[in-house]
């Protein structure tokens, strides 16, 4: 069974990173540049650019001569250059990176050549010899594409394809240089390889040790993730295993090679485990992750994901300064991967949900809306509060406007909709196969603005604790 979570082939170069939330990968600054004005009457302050979610190794599929695939039939591999911009000095006036130019040098990649499709050229990319140069343009206006401070954007797109005589293995590197009129120039080198891994994962109740049914609040659960590789290339070097808990449970801070999102009652762990992960191999962690269910908890969801360490997306990275465990390091041990679920290349994940014996305690968790004025944001509220049954009711913070379902979108996709627009109250329908999406726009900054999220008690069964049926929605503005 193949899962589509890793994204379409056109976006494969970043393998499923969303989205979401941003720690910068790579992108060392190697020279400085003075800021230049965006307009004569309103100069744009200087900014810093950084590469966003750039893989350490980019894998290209090898031409399989055992198939009916003839030379020249192989599809080019898409590659994206995504950048994030930040201010170089404090302030609230608009700041953006301007007049951006990207140069991709493939002269060291003897087994790989570039190709451009009409979409690449529309984005302002040209190809000559071993160089691809891009001066990004807005697809609608045709003007130069800028990146505002606090934002990230896919700013260039091109394709690569192995030469017909290319053999599997290392294939040199590509070098990326990004220049801007008001940002320091940055450089990055990406290793290329012919032949791609294809990762698999054990999922559902097979992750548990033992598998739970309804469990008691306050009890412990143990999770043992497992992964394999059924591709055409080994994953060399370290691997990152990321475990994240959503809902009413927390992780124990156990292993010295794991970073945790907080010192007490963490919800996320990122563990770096020595590789490789060879083709045909399957491993499980040699020790389990331990979780404690909240004393009043009734539900939750746990995910476990594996990546080649240099290709871990920003949304799953934790900083070097993050708290670490104090126990022995976590490792791998061999296991049977014959029934593992298959994913697209350089990631694989398992997911499980749990429910407790406290089944009639309807409850929600509060959450924070983070963004800047003008942002349009989609949120899966059910993932935020972990609630899986019944309608959810929201009162939006002042300055936030619901957008909801738009013309042309599938009627099968559920959206939260206004119940009372005047009072900014919203109803998110009970999820069936798909969780409803909360889509809204931040129209203005209102310091201290708050909203609420709530659920109603089950009309047929007494709710043992009404104090957790409502929680706050807070705002965090990004300048």
Can you give the pLDDT at residue 1?
A: 43
Distance, C-alpha 408 to centroid of its chain: 26
Residue-level pLDDT at 356: 86
Is residue 213 located within the same domain as residue 190?
no
Q: Are 225 and 244 in contact (CB under 8 A)?
A: no
Q: What is the pLDDT, as a whole number, of residue 13?
A: 34
Tens-level pLDDT at each residue, the chain (479 residues): 444 334 333 333 333 333 222 222 233 333 333 333 334 445 567 899 999 998 999 999 887 655 555 555 567 889 999 999 998 887 777 789 999 999 999 999 988 988 888 877 877 889 998 999 999 887 667 788 899 988 888 888 899 999 888 888 999 999 999 999 999 999 999 999 999 999 999 876 555 555 566 788 999 989 899 999 999 899 999 999 999 998 889 999 999 999 999 999 999 999 999 999 999 999 999 999 999 999 888 888 889 999 999 999 999 999 999 999 999 999 999 999 998 999 877 899 988 888 888 878 888 888 999 998 999 999 887 665 555 567 889 999 999 999 987 777 766 778 899 998 888 899 988 876 677 889 999 999 999 999 999 988 888 888 888 998 899 999 999 87
| Domain assignment of residue 42, yes or no | yes
The verdict on 16 and 101 lying in the same domain is yes
**In this structure, what token pair is assigned to residue 223?**
């999770």
User: Domain boundary at 307, 323, 356, which?
Assistant: 356
Residue 167 corresponds to which tokens in the numbers above?
A: 């053999």
Neighbours of 84 (CB within 10 A): 24
226 occurs within a structural domain = yes
Give the angle 7-9-10 at the CA atoms, nearest 5°. 100
If asked whether residues 167 and 233 sit together in one domain, one would say: no
CATH number, position 401:
2.60.40
Bridging pattern class, strands 425-428 and 438-442 = unpaired
* Domain finish residue from 356, 377, 401: 356
Q: Assess if residue 4 is contained within a domain.
A: no
Do 46 and 190 fall within a single domain?
yes
Both tokens of 468, joined, read 């957790």
d(CA 79, CA 325): 36
3-class SS of residue 14: helix
Q: What are phi and psi of 464, to 5 degrees?
A: -70, -15
Helix (H) or strand (E) holding 353: strand 348-356
Whole-number pLDDT of residue 8: 35
Radius of gyration of the chain (CA): 24
Residue 361 lies in a domain: no
Question: How far apart are the C-alpha atoms of 121 and 330, rounded to whole Å?
Answer: 47
* Domain co-membership, 78 together with 123: yes
Instruction: State whether 205 and 338 are in the same domain.
Output: yes
Quote the pLDDT of residue 433. Answer: 62
What torsion, rounded to 10 degrees, do the Cα atoms 377, 381, 382, 384 define?
100
Is residue 190 located within the same domain as residue 231? no
Rounded Cα distance between 253 and 262, Å, is 9
Does some domain include residue 362?
A: no
Containing structural domain, residue 111: 9-194
Q: Which pair of tokens denotes residue 127?
A: 């190809």
Residue 430 domain flag: yes
189 and 212 both lie in a single domain: no
Last residue of a domain, one of 332, 356, 380: 356
Question: Which SS3 state, helix, strand or coil, does residue 415 take?
Answer: strand
Q: What is the DSSP letter of 101?
A: E
The pLDDT value given to residue 72: 52
Q: d(Cα 258, Cα 252) in Å, to the nearest integer?
A: 11
Nearest Cα residue to 234 out of 283, 285, 175, 178: 283
Backbone torsion region of residue 386, taken as left when φ is above 0, otherwise alpha when ψ lies between -120 and 50, otherwise beta: left
Evaluate whether residue 41 is within a structural domain. Answer: yes
Cis-peptide into 34, omega within 30 deg = no
Q: 389 near 430, Cβ under 8 Å?
A: yes
- Same domain, yes or no: 160 and 245: no
Whole-angstrom distance, CA of residue 247 vs CA of residue 198: 30
252 belongs to a structural domain: yes
The answer to whether 404 touches 416, Cβ cutoff 8 Å, is yes
Considering the domain architecture, whether residues 168 and 206 belong to the same structural domain is answered as no
239 & 138 share domain: no
Question: Are 215 and 142 in the same domain?
Answer: no
- CATH code (residue 223): 2.60.40.10
Number of domains in the chain: 3
Q: How many CA atoms lie within 13 A of 375 on its CB side?
A: 18
Hey, which residues does 273 pair with through a beta bridge?
Answer: 239
């Amino acid at each position: 069974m193949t899962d589509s979570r890793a994204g379409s082939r056109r976006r494969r170069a970043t393998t499923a990173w969303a989205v979401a939330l941003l720690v910068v990968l790579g992108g060392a600054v190697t020279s400085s540049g003075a800021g230049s004005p965006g307009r004569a009457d309103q100069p744009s302050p200087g900014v810093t650019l950084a590469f966003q979610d750039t893989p350490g190794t980019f894998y290209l599929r090898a031409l399989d001569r055992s198939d009916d695939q003839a030379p020249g039939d192989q599809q080019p591999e898409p590659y994206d250059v995504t950048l994030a911009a930040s201010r170089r000095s404090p302030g609230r006036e608009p700041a953006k990176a301007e007049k951006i130019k990207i140069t991709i040098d493939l002269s060291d990649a003897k087994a790989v050549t570039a190709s451009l499709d009409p979409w690449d050229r529309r984005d302002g990319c040209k190809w000559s010899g071993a160089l691809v140069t891009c001066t990004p343009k807005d697809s609608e206006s045709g003007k130069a594409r800028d990146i505002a401070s606090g934002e990230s954007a896919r700013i260039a797109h091109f394709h690569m394809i192995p030469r017909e005589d290319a053999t599997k293995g290392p294939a040199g590197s590509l070098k990326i240089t990004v220049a801007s009129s008001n940002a320091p120039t940055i450089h990055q080198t990406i290793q290329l390889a012919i032949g791609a891994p294809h990762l698999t994962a054990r999922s559902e109740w097979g992750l548990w040790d033992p598998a739970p049914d309804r469990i008691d609040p306050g009890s412990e659960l143990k999770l043992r993730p497992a992964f394999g590789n059924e591709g055409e290339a080994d994953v060399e070097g370290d691997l990152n295993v990321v475990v994240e808990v959503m809902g009413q449970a927390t992780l124990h801070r156990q292993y010295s090679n794991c970073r945790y999102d907080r010192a007490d009652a963490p919800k996320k762990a990122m563990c770096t485990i020595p590789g490789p992960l060879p083709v045909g191999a399957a491993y499980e962690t040699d020790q389990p992750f331990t979780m404690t269910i909240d004393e009043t908890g009734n539900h939750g969801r746990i995910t476990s994901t594996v990546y080649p360490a240099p290709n871990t997306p920003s949304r799953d990275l934790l900083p070097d300064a993050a708290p670490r465990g104090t126990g022995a390091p976590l490792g791998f041990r061999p296991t049977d991967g014959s029934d593992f679920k298959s994913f697209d290349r350089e990631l694989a994940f398992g997911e499980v949900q749990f429910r407790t014996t406290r089944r009639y305690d309807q409850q929600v968790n509060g959450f924070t809306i983070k963004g800047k004025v003008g942002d349009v944001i989609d949120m899966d509220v059910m993932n935020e509060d972990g609630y899986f049954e019944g309608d959810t009711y929201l009162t939006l913070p002042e300055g936030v406007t619901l957008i909801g379902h738009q013309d042309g979108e599938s009627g099968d996709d559920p959206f939260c909709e206004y119940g009372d627009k005047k009072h900014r109250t919203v109803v998110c329908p009970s999820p069936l196969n798909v969780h409803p999406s909360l889509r809204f726009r931040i129209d203005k900054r209102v310091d201290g603005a708050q909203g609420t999220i709530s659920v109603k008690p089950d009309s047929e069964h007494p709710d043992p604790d009404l104090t957790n049926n409502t929680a706050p929605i807070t705002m965090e503005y990004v300048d």
